[in-house]
Structure 1
Amino acid sequence: MKKIGMIGGLSWLSTAEYYKRINEITQSVAGGVNSARIVLESVNRQDYVEAVIDRQDEQAACAQIERSAHALQAAGANFIVIACNDVHRFVPALQPKLDIPFLHIAEVTAEAIKAKGLKTAAVLGVRKTMEGDFYPAILTDNGIGAMIPNEDEKRFIQESIYQELVQNRFLDETRRAYQRIISELAARGADCVALACTEIPLLLAAQDSPLPAFSTTELHCRAAVAMALADA
């Protein structure tokens, strides 16, 4: 079994869900009382937020993730999962500096959407994800269009993630607001939705979405287990 290197702490809530689901899936697939081999490098979210939001210093934020990635490599990880969607924007810059691969969350998500034959995915996440190019580019490579929420919708999603979800607050009224946003995106032509923030699936279960919903957390965890068990 390969050793999974996990960059977590962004937030601790989704990191805990990653640890739980990876081990649940490992036991289900491998049987017995098998559990995953995981080494965790937990980033201090406060340091990351101060770099990204307060100082808007992308280079400093990337450097934090690079230090964690090198620590995982030194600890013997065979590959790296980042338990956060928007941090994957740094992967193209970081991958050439490492000897082990990243398992990219957007690639895993795009493959799952493509397998269902869906064509236009609404992308919900923090602004760095919704306004960045890595999700649209990877979706396009898989023959899938990306639909981004409008400005009011983006503002609500961003604020709900930072002010509620990462602080372990999950409100029914926020869940209903997400359902309304997804319904409006459906009316504008989306045929599915990528829950492209690892905290959103903790608020909105796939069965509660007005459109077919893809939990990036669940897809990433399943792909991590498959990669860890491959050729085991």
Structure 2
Amino acid sequence: MKKIGLIGGLSWVSTAQYYKRINEITQSALGGVSSARIVLESINRQEFISSVIERKDEASACQQIAESAAALEAAGADFIVITCNGAHRFVPEIAKNIQIPFLHIAQVTAQAIAEKGFKRVAILGVRKTMEEDFYPSILAQNGIGAIIPNEQEKEYIHESINRELVHNQFLDKTRIRYQSIISDLSERGADCVALACTEIPLLLSPEQSPIPAFSTTEIHCLATVKCALEND
């Protein structure tokens, strides 16, 4: 079994879900009381958010991820999994300087959507995920178009993630608003939705979505175990 390197802390809420699901999937695959080989680098979210939002210092934010990636490589990890969608915008830069691969969340999500035959996916996440190009470009490589929420929708989604979800708060009124936003995105041409913040599936499960939904957390965890068990 390969050793999984997790970069967590962005937030601890989704990181805990990753640890839980990776081990549940591993135990289901191998039986008994099997568990995954995991080494975790947990970033201080407050420092990361201060860089991104308060100082608008993307280089500092990238450096925090890069240092964690280097620490995981030194700890013997065979590949790296970032438990946060938005931080994947830094992967192309960081990957140049380490020798082990990243398991990119947008890549495995795009593959899962393509396998189901969907062509127009709405992207829900923090602002950096909705506004940066890494999701649309990877989706396009798989023949899928991206639909981005409008400014009012982006503001609500971004603020609710930072105000509630990363604090482990999941409110019915917020879930209802997300369902309404997804319905509106469907009317604007989306045939499915990517829950592209790793906390969103804890608020709104795919089964609760008005249109077919893909939990990036679940897809990433399944792909992580598959990668860990390959050639084992």
TM-score bucket (shorter structure): over 0.9
Give the ranges of 4+ consecutive aligned residues of structure 1 lying more than 2 Å apart after TM superposition. Answer: none
Aligned to 1:102: 102
Distance 1:30 1:194 in 2: 29
**In structure 2, what residue type is equivalent to 1:41?**
E
Aligned to 2:222: 222
User: What is the correspondence of 1:1-232 to structure 2 with a 5 Å cutoff?
Assistant: 1-232=1-232
Distance 2:183 2:66 in 1: 38
Distance 1:211 1:30 in 2: 33
Match of 2:56, SS? coil
Distance 2:45 2:155 in 1: 21
Match of 2:228, SS? helix
Distance 2:183 2:198 in 1: 21
Work out the number of aligned pairs and report it: 232
For structure 2, the 5+ residue unaligned runs are none
**In structure 2, what residue type is equivalent to 1:49?**
I
Match of 2:87, SS? helix
Match of 2:96, SS? helix
Distance 1:168 1:18 in 2: 14
Distance 1:152 1:211 in 2: 21
Q: CA deviation at 1:33?
A: 1.2
Let me know the Cα RMSD of the aligned residues.
0.4
Match of 1:123, SS? strand
Q: CA deviation at 1:110?
A: 0.2
**In structure 2, what residue type is equivalent to 1:147?**
I
Identity of aligned residues (%): 69
For structure 1, the 5+ residue unaligned runs are none
Q: CA deviation at 1:78?
A: 0.0
Match of 1:140, SS? helix
Q: CA deviation at 1:31?
A: 1.3
TM-score (norm 1): 1.00
TM-score (norm 2): 1.00
Distance 2:211 2:74 in 1: 42
Q: Deviation digits for residues 184-225 of structure 1, max 9, x if unmatched?
A: 000011000000000000000110000110000000000000
Match of 1:97, SS? coil
Match of 2:197, SS? coil
Q: CA deviation at 1:32?
A: 1.5
